[in-house]
Amino acid sequence: MQKNLIIATWSWIVITILIEVAAVPYLSTAQWAVRGTVESLVALSAVIPMILFYMGLWEEHRSLKMFVVVSLFFCADLLLIWSASSVH
Amino acid sequence: MSHVNEPANEVETLRGGYSPTLAWLRKWLFTTDHKEVGLLYFWTSLWFVAIGGALAGLMRTQLAFPAPWDILSASAYNQAVSMHGLIMVLLFLSPLGAAFSNYFVPLQIGAKDVAYPRFNAFSYWMYLMGGIVMISGFFAPGGAAQAGWTNYAPLDSTLFSPGPGETLVGLGLLLLWGSLTMGGVNLIVTILTMRAPGMTWKKMPPFTWMTLFTQLLLLFSVPSIFVGTLALISDRVFGTVFFLNTAGSTILWENMWWFFGHPEVYVVVLPAFGAIAEVFMVFTGRPLYAKKALLISVGIILMPFSFSIYAHHMFLTGINALQREFIDLNTEINTLPSGLLVVCMALTAVGGTIKFKAPFTFAVAALVVFIIGGITGVFDSSVLLDQELRGTYQVVGHFHYIMVGAAEFGLMAAIYYWLPKWTGMMYSAAIAKLHFITSFVFFNMTFFPMFYLLEMPRRVYTYLASTSWGNINFIETLGAYGFIAAQVLLLYVLVQAFRHKGTPAPPNPWNSSGPEWTSDTKSYLDNYPAVYASPPSGQSAPHVMTAENSRPFTISVGVGLACIGLILWWPLLLIGTVLGVYGVYGWAKDDLNGAFTMPGEEKAGETWPFKQNPGETFGQWRMKVGTWLFLASDLVFFSAIAGLLIFVRLHLTDWPAVGSVFNIPMVTLNTLILVTSGLALMFALQDAKEGKGSEMTRWLVATLILGGSFLIISGFEWVDQFAKQFTFSSGMPGSTFYLLTGISGAHVFAGLLMLAYVIKKAISGKFTRENHFSIRLFSLFWMFVIAMVVILFPAIYLM
């Protein structure tokens, strides 16, 4: 089960990096500072679950909590990219 | 079982059983004992002050008379003034404080040694080698660095400093930054985790408190200039253009320099104030007045504010008015704890029975000159006055009152206070008094007249007779000669005491209640035999704490030779590299064979704020705390990299569009490979926890392969960029890309070296289900590096 959590955390980082790359065309019209802020926040969202995992803040029985946190990050990332894509 | 009377032959065994001459040399080259390392710092800092002082004498001689008096050329004067500043601040004052910290902090907190004795010796040797590399510029074509102690851009660039002197200063500084980081982690971990039972935070002596503050300041201020110096070296050696462009490069350097440079003032002053506090308590017979308030004000106001006010050194660089006012206000707030330091010392003396011995007179003198230096400094923090005073001799007078006056007099108080402890000898009170009077008089004669040179620009090598500055300069020069000559008295006192000439000192000549006076420092490798009478549980033999180790010396000499060889003579680079690699290999081998024993497993006293996990040994806990501290410092390092990138982007609108230079799918895949190495490592850790040895090893090897693949692909990426004419010198985008990826790559490379060591341990069967601490420690570093790469990935490729 612990390995499943490891795989889940790894998958989240991979997905987030892919989101960052996929977001580039949508952010192309935004100013550099806006693009930079959004991409940095998305990158941070990749790392934070990793830190939480590493610090043992979720164990096997808390995998639901992990799922909720990661989902929130996912929604926040998409919201950020969507908001920034309309900034010129 | 006491170690106080350890049989001489056992000690000799530790010393290697060499002939007396070789044993003496071996002792000082290979020692890891904190007391001996402290003495090495002490004598080395005095050696550097002799060089820095000689340069000051040359400068003052040149300025004694107006033109046409000319004993130094403009270039020679520039070299003297630049190297004098660098030597005095970074190679003399800071290390002199470190000498006392190394020697006395473990004694004051009841520890056997510092947390990492080998790294302590390594810090010292890297400091010495850094200093030698910097000074070697005097023997290079074109002479030493000439860009001032601040190395302002673009003066430090190849355009204005084409000779190797500036490069050697940069390389020497890199070694010094490494030394300071290691030393900082070491002393902080020592104080956090090695206090004896009963030595609570509240009871900790003021000198140890000030050491803690000093090292915290260093740990978080050095990364900024570390990155700045890497960029400078990158410019000078590889041809990047960080400080040779018009996109704010001067301001970029100033930000990076002063983020370190301003806290450095406190790094120099705080150990002196720690010593002054000790001296005031002992020589007035009173406890330190309002100790708690004083410590809180230094810890809560002075330390954090020192990072926020550094830009008051940059008022004339065009920063906006609101920002200047904010920094001015912060600077003036920061004078409050400084004032409190003086008030607390003064009120400590009120009502006490004062003994006017040499340490006390120097401590009082330090306070007096600190007040003068502090008040004149407040003028400089005013935005308006700074317009007039900046770049004049008023500023020179101000900072010499702080750096030479307060810091040096404070540290002289420390010398006279602790010399009997160091040497077991008393010194002549009459000579000490003469040293004090001459130093105080000639110091003021040298620097006070500078406050009247409000129109004389600093850093000029000559001036016209019509300026009327001649008489004041002549008096200053006489004062400088007198001050330098006065230090011969100190040297005499030191030589006599260290040669054991004169009267033996009683164990506690000042009747101090300081814990350091109760230890038996004559006993090699043991400070408190009475406290640590029993061997660690499970051991029957006397526990030998630390021993000599040649690796810190070997690696440092290798690195120093490589740096000099890189610039001056390539065979030295080769020899240095071989020596360095041999040293690193030997260090790892020592660890694998258990050839070097770390300080014992005694139970610590107060453990707040870092709790020891169940099942974790004391040594493992200490290593973990040290690793976290190092990573915290490394985080500031990466923040400085991010700051550099943001600064460059804000000042440069012409930047390649995303995807126009880099192969995005390729670099994304490469980043994912590195992330996947983290997955493999986590599997290895999980298998280690479950006691699956062979699976664990396989996953560790997978981590190595994936991490190595990342580096190889990054190398191909560099080749690809070069083929597209996107080179180091093609512009700021290229310079930034190569510096950022180079630093990330260096972290990955360092991680792979550590991983190779971990794998070797795994193959040797040294990990068990219960004990696989090295993997946990390594995974901490590796996951940190992955996190940094993941954060830098969009910053480098997608913006």
Total residues belonging to chain A:
88
Residue of A2, A10, A54 with shortest CB distance to B679: A10
Contacts of B780 (CB under 8 A, 6+ apart): A54, B624, B627, B628, B631
Given the structure tokens 């019209």, which residue do they identify? Answer: A29
Q: Chain B residue with minimal CA distance to A16?
A: B790
CA torsion A11→A12→A17→A18, rounded to 10°? 70
User: For residue B557, which phi and psi values (nearest 5 degrees)?
Assistant: -60, -40
Q: Which of B63-77, B148-162, B600-614 is the least confident region?
A: B600-614
Over residues B502-536, the pLDDT tens digits come to 899 998 999 999 999 987 665 445 565 433 334 44
Name the residue with higher pLDDT: B372 or B608: B372
Average pLDDT over residues B353-368: 96
Neighbours of A32 (CB within 10 A): 15
First to last CA, chain B: 65
Residue B194 has pLDDT above 60, yes or no: yes
CA-nearest of B662, B691, B705 to B798 is B662
What pLDDT is attached to residue A61? 59
Provide mean pLDDT across the span B742-752: 97
Q: What angle do CA B213, B86, B553 make, to 5 degrees?
A: 75
Residues in chain B: 799
Task: Estimate to the nearest angstrom the gap between the alpha carbon of B468 and the chain centroid.
Answer: 42
Residue B794 in contact with partner chain A when CB distance is under 8 A? yes
Q: Where are the alpha helices (DSSP H) in B533-689?
A: 551-567, 570-593, 618-651, 664-689
Residue B428, by phi and psi: left (phi above 0), alpha (psi -120 to 50) or beta? beta
More confident residue, B141 or A84: B141
3-state helix, strand, coil in chain B (%, to 5): 70, 0, 30
Instruction: Judge whether residue B1 has pLDDT over 50.
Output: no
Residues sharing a CB contact under 8 Å with residue B723, sequence separation 6 or more, in sequence order: none
Nearest of B601, B449, B482 to residue B532 by alpha carbon:
B601
The C-alpha angle B261, B265, B267, rounded to 5 degrees, equals: 100
- Which residues of chain B lie closer than 8 angstroms to A43, CB-CB? 790-791, 793-795
Q: What is the pLDDT of residues A7-61, one digit of tens each?
A: 888 888 999 999 999 988 888 888 888 888 888 889 988 888 777 777 766 665 5
User: Looking at residues B67-81, what average pLDDT do you find?
Assistant: 95
Inter-chain residue contact B798 with A39, CB threshold 8 Å: yes
Q: What is the pLDDT of residue B672?
A: 96
Q: How far is CA B380 from CA B314, B320, B394, in A?
A: 11, 18, 9
> B33: alpha, beta or left, given left = phi > 0 and alpha = psi -120 to 50?
beta
Q: Is A43 on the interface with B (CB under 8 A)?
A: yes
This complex has an ipTM of 0.90
Report chain A residues whose CB lies below 8 A from the CB of B669. Answer: none
* Nearest alpha-carbon partner for B56 in B490, B491, B485: B485
Supply φ then ψ for residue B504, to 5 degrees.
-65, 145
pLDDT tens column, B335-360: 889 999 999 999 999 988 999 999 99
Confidence of residue B603 (pLDDT cuts 50, 70, 90): low
Rg (CA), chain B: 27
The band of B17, judged by pLDDT with boundaries at 50, 70 and 90, is very low
In this complex, do A17 and B682 lie within 8 Å of one another by their Cβ atoms? no
| DSSP letters for B395-451 | HHHHHHIIIIIIIIHHHHHHHHHHHHHHHSB---HHHHHHHHHHHHHHHHHHHGGGG
Contact: B790, A43; criterion CB under 8 Å: yes
The residue ranges of every structural domain in chain B are 358-505, 550-595, 654-797
Q: In this structure, are residues B181 and B130 in contact, taking their beta carbons and an 8 Å threshold?
A: no
Furthest CA-CA distance within chain A: 46
Q: Which of B790, B792, B793, B797 to mutate to test the interface with A (most CBs of A within 10 A)?
A: B790
From the list B232, B242, B236, B251, the residue with the least C-alpha distance to B732 is B242
pLDDT for B745 beyond 70: yes
The pLDDT value recorded for residue B536 is: 44
Hey, is B210 helix, strand or coil?
helix
Q: What is A25-68 written as a DSSP string?
A: HHHTTS-HHHHHHHHHHHHHHHHHHHHHHHTT-S-GGGHHHHHH
Tell me the Ramachandran region of residue A35: left when phi exceeds 0, alpha when psi lies from -120 to 50, beta otherwise.
Answer: alpha
Distance CA B362, CA B410 (A): 6
Is B686 in the A-facing interface, judged by CB distances under 8 Å? yes
Q: Does A32 touch chain B (CB under 8 A)?
A: yes
Structural domain boundaries enclosing A54 = 2-85
Q: What is the pLDDT of residue B530?
A: 38
| Residue B144 bridge partners (DSSP) | B165
Per-residue pLDDT at B53: 97
Q: Report the range of poorest mean pLDDT among A76-80, B27-31, B472-476.
A: A76-80
| Single-letter code of the amino acid located at B372 | I
Q: How many domains does chain A have?
A: 1
On whether any CB of chain B is under 8 Å from the CB of A2, the answer is: yes
Q: What is the pLDDT of residues B402-426, one digit of tens each?
A: 999 899 999 999 999 999 999 999 9
Question: What whole-number distance in Å separates Cα of residue B268 and Cα of residue B171?
Answer: 22
Tell me whether B798 touches chain A (CB under 8 Å).
Answer: yes
What six digits make up the tokens of B184? 């900082």
Q: Confidence band (pLDDT; 50, 70, 90) for A78? A: confident
Query: Which CATH superfamily is B654-797 part of?
Result: Cytochrome c oxidase, subunit III, four-helix bundle (1.20.120.80)
A24 with B798: Cβ contact below 8 A: yes
pLDDT band at B77, cuts 50/70/90?
Answer: very high
Q: How far apart are CA A53 and CA B388, in angstroms?
A: 56
Q: Is residue B514 within 8 Å of B105, Cβ to Cβ?
A: no
CB contact under 8 A, B664 and A24: yes
Answer whether residue B56 shows pLDDT above 90.
Answer: yes
pLDDT score of B378: 87
A17–B646 CB contact, under 8 Å: no
- Residue B671 confidence (pLDDT) above 90: yes
Check residue B419 and give its pLDDT. 96
CB distance B254 to B317 below 8 Å: yes
**Confidence at residue B601, expressed as pLDDT on a 0 to 100 scale:** 57
Q: pLDDT, tens digit, for every residue of B239-293?
A: 999 998 777 788 999 999 999 999 999 999 999 999 999 999 999 999 999 999 9
Q: Which residues contact B236 (CB under 8 A, 6 or more apart)?
A: B157, B158, B166, B167, B170
Q: Quick count: other Cβ atoms within 10 Å of Cβ B476?
A: 24
Q: By the 8 A CB rule, do B244 and B159 touch?
A: yes
Mean pLDDT of chain B: 90
Confidence of residue B103 (pLDDT cuts 50, 70, 90): very high
The arithmetic mean of pLDDT across residues B389-412, rounded, is 94
With 50 as the cut, is the pLDDT of residue B576 above it? yes
Whether A65 shows a pLDDT value over 80: the answer reads no
Task: Lowest mean pLDDT of A24-33, B145-154, B355-364, B696-705, name the range.
Answer: A24-33
What DSSP assignment string belongs to B250-316?
HHHHHHHHHHHHHHHHHHHHHHHHHHHHHHHHHHHTSPPTTHHHHHHIIIIIIHHHHHHSGGGGGGG
What is the model's pLDDT at position B694?
92
> Does B72 have pLDDT greater than 80?
yes
Q: How many Å lie between the alpha carbon of A40 and the closest alpha carbon of chain B?
A: 7
Contact call for residues B53 and B488 (beta carbons, < 8 A): no
CB contact set of B9 (below 8 Å; sequence gap of 6+): none
**Is it the case that residue A1 has pLDDT exceeding 70?**
no
In the predicted model, is pLDDT for residue B742 greater than 80? yes
B446: Cβ–Cβ under 8 A, 6 or more apart, which residues? B60, B400, B476, B479, B480, B482, B483
> Which H/E stretch holds residue B20?
helix B20-30
Contact in structure between B345 and B277 (CB atoms under 8 Å): yes
CA distance B147 to B229: 14
Which pLDDT score, from 0 to 100, does residue B478 have?
A: 98
Stretch B654-660: mean pLDDT, rounded?
Answer: 86
Mean pLDDT of B71-94: 96
User: How many CB pairs below 8 Å do chains A and B form together?
Assistant: 72
What confidence score (pLDDT) does residue B3 get? 36
Residue A86 has pLDDT above 80, yes or no: no
Q: What is the rounded distance in angstroms from the CA atom of residue B172 to the CA atom of residue B136?
A: 9
Residues in CB range of B71: below 8 A, 6 or more apart: B58, B61, B62
Q: What is residue A3's predicted lDDT score, i.e. its pLDDT?
A: 82
Is the pLDDT confidence value at A88 over 70?
Answer: no
Give the integer Cα–Cα distance in Å for B102 and B118: 13
Long-range interactions of B143-146: CB distance < 8 A, separation 24+: B143/B75, B143/B76, B143/B79, B144/B79, B144/B82, B144/B83, B144/B168, B144/B169, B145/B79, B145/B82, B145/B83, B145/B86, B145/B169, B146/B75, B146/B78, B146/B79, B146/B82
Asked if B655 has any chain A CB less than 8 Å from its own CB, the reply is: yes
Supply the DSSP symbol for B506: P
Q: Which of A7, A17, A36 shows the shortest C-beta gap to B668?
A: A17
